[in-house]
Amino acid sequence: MAAPHDGPWLDDAAGRLVRPYTVSNGRTRPTTQLDLLSQVMATGSTPLGYLGPEHSAALGLCGAPASVAEIAAQLKLPAVVTKVILCDLLDSGALTMKAPDFYHNPTDRSLLEAVLDGLRRQL
């Protein structure tokens, strides 16, 4: 049985009833290069043409800036499928995107220590 909040798209025994490749119409390459840390946000424009329920759900998650990784987690879809969906929305003008700022080295010791300190405060 599907959990009440999941609707008809998930089934406890079978998993997703709609396979990810059908959500992206078999496409595996986004039209725009998106990083998992790229921030997307709704523009307020209505996308032209038909978009599937996953597109609508993704657009609904973009009221405030959100990363591609966050949206993929919320949609419970693989990152590459989420990127294709988000690119459809970007191409239609419904989303805007900001690439991640790689000014900081992700392996910088001071940055990693700050992240660790923040995590410890949360526990």
Instruction: Write the DSSP string, 77-91.
Output: --HHHHHHHHHHHHH
pLDDT at 11: 47
State the average pLDDT for the chain.
Answer: 78
pLDDT at 18: 52
* Alpha-carbon span 34 to 67, nearest angstrom: 10
pLDDT at 123: 79
Structure tokens at 117: 């300190």
* pLDDT tens by residue, 31-44: 788 888 889 999 99
Task: With a cut of 90, say whether residue 64 has pLDDT above it.
Answer: yes
